[in-house]
Amino acid sequence: MADANRPDVVQLLLCESAAYDETQNSWVLVRPTAHLHVRGYREDPFPHVIPRLAAYFQLIDAFGTVSLQLQVAAPSLGSGMAQVLMRSDEYLVTFPPNRTVLDGVIRLEAVPILEAAEYEVRLLAAGQRLGERSVAYLRVTGETMS
């Protein structure tokens, strides 16, 4: 079980994929993005599935083990509540002793996109949001090509 401490989010960035570079001791983000343009040929491009999406996070001010999860939420349509479309598995991350910053990547596959809109990708710790920096926005636009 994760400790009840809640880290602060320094940044949350979306990209197509990410890999850890052992020689540089850092993450390499492939195609960082906050916008996705979807094209449908002779038909409506929605619903659409993003084959893969990664979220790079950087956290501070925590200790011990923290349970992290990503959620993808669609905009609300009159209800005022965003609809959660997908959740990642929960990942336990441990802050090493004497280290105040921790970074990593959570990957998602087959992310559903219902319509052109702005989607929220939320980073949760122990099921709770961590403030405004714990949300990244993905703006999706689309067009039909003939």
Residue 2 forms part of a structural domain: no
Region of residue 64 (left: phi > 0; alpha: psi -120 to 50; beta: else)? left
Residue 109 forms part of a structural domain: yes
CATH number for the domain harbouring residue 63: 2.60.40.2550
**Element containing residue 50 per DSSP (H, E):** strand 48-60
98: Cβ contacts below 8 Å, ≥ 6 apart: none
Mean pLDDT of 39-43: 74
Q: Name residue, tokens 């925590």.
A: 62
**Buried b or exposed e, range 46-73, using 16+ CB within 10 angstroms:** bebebeebbbbbbbeebeeebbbbbbbb
**What is the span of the domain harbouring residue 66?**
8-145
Residue 3 forms part of a structural domain: no
Q: Considering the entire predicted model, what is its pTM?
A: 0.86
Chain segment 54-75, per-residue pLDDT in tens: 999 999 887 888 899 999 999 8
Q: How many structural domains are present in the chain?
A: 1
Residue 120 forms part of a structural domain: yes
